[in-house]
Amino acid sequence: MHETQKAVRVRDGDHMNNFPHRQEVTLVTGSVSYRQAGSGPDLVLLHGLAGNSGTWERQFEKFANRFRMTAWDAPGYGHSDAVAPAVDGYADTLGAFTQAIGIERFIVIGHSMGGVVAGNFAGRYRDRVSGLVLSCTHLGRRQRAGGPLGEKYLARLAQYDAMSPLDYGRARAESMTAPGCNPEILEDFARIAAETRKEGLEAAARVVSEADNRSHFAHLDMPVLVLAGDLDRTVSRASTEELVDAIPGQLPSFALHYLPGVGHAPYMEDANLYNALLGDFLSSLYK
């Protein structure tokens, strides 16, 4: 059971060659842990509800020779302290975090919950964002602030309480990837999801549930790339289309790609195609 794991320090995975260990920086709101590698233009990566900074191993491996890659652990994940569960607050924490480690202007990649934060940040701090990548995400569920969480999130929290960390991770991996996913990828996903802390999961679920980024998207003025899994059972195609419809028509560039044969973790399920599409977008910004 997860309750017996409270005293265990979050494991610092080092699965791939030269994958960076966690660092920490202290803000007014508390500590933020993150991984950083490479040099060049800044690329900041925000994980989803079942992830952490370790989510992005395959992207670090591909792009750290061209970019300074920084992946945070969202509030309540990794070694990061929790903050009040509101999307504006998470975006403000992102702004303070990046400034604290010397990053002023950057490309932001947000996956799922991280995409909700990234879209909010890009609309509210657009002078700091040179490019926006929205991965398997949406505008927010627009539920009443302080109301009960939806059944899907309550079920996930119950699952967390009922299972061992690795069994929870495997359950999340099975539900969020496409049928027939490579078993090694499933285990990688499970290993990362097993590190989830309940306080982070519950707060992030509330952030996603109560967010409404429609007004913030009206202010986007940077190049935007939207990536979605064709078999995603977590973020529907209708939610993706709603997000795309909210993006202004006059942008420096815009692209939407549905990756075939993958679910809610295309950055792992088909890292080659995901990285190729991401690489094309990044190359268009730095010709």
pLDDT at 287: 72
pLDDT single digits (tens) 60-82: 999 999 999 999 999 999 999 99
Q: What is the CATH number of the domain that holds 187?
A: 3.40.50.1820
User: Number of structural domains, the chain?
Assistant: 1
pLDDT single digits (tens) 38-57: 999 999 999 999 999 999 99
Q: How many CB atoms lie within 10 A of CB 284?
A: 14
Contacts of 162 (CB under 8 A, 6+ apart): 1
pLDDT at 17: 55
* 11 occurs within a structural domain: no
pLDDT at 286: 85
* 166 occurs within a structural domain: yes
pLDDT at 2 over 90: no
* 14 occurs within a structural domain: no
* 13 occurs within a structural domain: no
pLDDT at 169 over 90: yes
d(CA 100, CA 96): 6
d(CA 113, CA 118): 9
| Model confidence pTM above 0.85 | yes
d(CA 89, CA 47): 16
Residue ranges of E strands in 60-194 = 68-72, 106-111, 129-135
Rounded to an integer, the average pLDDT of 179-195 is 96
pLDDT at 41: 97
- Supply the mean pLDDT for the chain: 93
pLDDT single digits (tens) 200-257: 999 999 999 999 999 999 999 999 999 999 999 999 999 999 999 999 999 999 999 9
- The domain of 49 spans 2-6+19-285
* 228 occurs within a structural domain: yes
**Beta-sheet pairing, 68-72 with 42-46:** parallel
pLDDT single digits (tens) 121-134: 999 999 999 999 99
pLDDT at 162 over 70: yes
* 12 occurs within a structural domain: no
**What percentage of the chain carries pLDDT values higher than 90?**
91
* 194 occurs within a structural domain: yes
* 39 occurs within a structural domain: yes
By C-alpha distance, which of 107, 129, 95 is closest to 42?
Answer: 107
